[in-house]
Amino acid sequence: MYDPSSLESRFQPPSRTLLLAFIPFSYHARQSLLSPPPSRLPPALICTTSSPHPVLLPPLSHTNYCSKQFGPLVVAFVGLPARGKTVTGNKLARYLNWTGETAKVFVASEYRRKLVDRYDSHDLFRADNMEAMAIRRKSSVSAMEDATHWLNSEGNIAILDATNTTRDHRQAVYNYFVSQLGFKLLFVEFVVEDEEILSRNIKEVLMNSPDYKDMAMEKALDDFEQKVQHYMEQYETMSSSQDKLYSFLRILNQGVILVMLASVMVTIIKECVLDDD
């Protein structure tokens, strides 16, 4: 018998494990990632809006799951820059495509760069810079529209790599994809409190981002830190009390998964996003 009170001690995801609310997978896709292939799926977590604490459920027979693949699903990232969103999005898309799903990442910053010939400074991200705010808003809308066109024509899982740091913006994302289009939507929030991980992430951004390719490292670091500060001034983290309408996960320090979902079943996906390669 499963004891919910012992959940914390009995369910400790390893560093290379990610919990995702991507249910239902096709049965064949699930079997490819469960080792060894069982006749009964592993214990699952379920959380309802009436309680923020996940409850461990007994294993379920695979016959309880739908064998069909997803209808249109949007996975919208949430979080400050350098929190691992882009790396995770790319790994997740590769993994889902490997399992037989059809996934693609839509990066909001790439749409922004199409509208701005050259990145000058962190002023682009100031909340009081109305012209820049309009550009960023247009970039976000373009990414969402392209994701919609792709989902309607060839794909079934669109990963929206954007900051989505305010509740108003997340509400707009929900209204567009869920209320207007009838798609499924999962928010995934990235939080990094470990200074070593954050320092490594920032270094990778400064080395790989087109925004900083022509900027001296010291200047780039200063600019990036001020950019993050602009985001922090507006950032509203997701919470079970404020975001009851949404299904969402929080990834803490690229390994510890906190589950806050509105009546969505969660299963363990191994060797997926947080792999070491």
Res 243: pLDDT: 84
Total tally of structural domains belonging to the chain: 1
What integer pLDDT is reported at residue 71 of this predicted model? 67
Residue 8 falls inside a structural domain:
no
Q: Is 61 within a domain?
A: no
Residue 267's pLDDT is: 37
Q: Report if residue 7 sits inside a domain.
A: no
Tokens of 161: 């790599």
> What are the helix (H) ranges across the chain?
7-10, 27-33, 85-98, 108-115, 130-153, 167-174, 195-208, 217-234
CA–CA distance, 147 with 157 (Å, rounded to integer): 9
Domain of residue 213, CATH code:
3.40.50.300
Q: pTM surpassing 0.85?
A: no
Query: Is residue 11 a part of any domain in this protein?
Result: no
Domain membership flag for residue 120: yes
Secondary structure (3-state) at 238:
coil
Kindly write down the DSSP assignment for every residue of 124-163, as one continuous string. GG-TT-HHHHHHHHHHHHHHHHHHHHHHHHT-SEEEEES-
Q: For residue 84, is it within any domain?
A: yes
Range of the domain at 233: 66-254
Domain membership of residue 28 (yes or no) is no
- Domain assignment present for 185: yes
Distance (Å, whole) CA 104 – CA 9 = 36
pLDDT digits (tens), the chain, 277 positions: 434 333 333 333 333 334 343 333 333 333 333 333 333 333 333 333 333 333 333 333 333 333 335 568 899 999 999 999 998 889 888 888 887 889 999 999 999 999 887 888 898 888 888 888 898 999 999 999 999 999 999 898 999 999 999 999 999 999 999 999 999 898 989 999 999 999 999 999 999 999 898 899 999 999 999 999 999 999 999 988 888 888 888 888 866 565 555 433 233 233 344 455 4
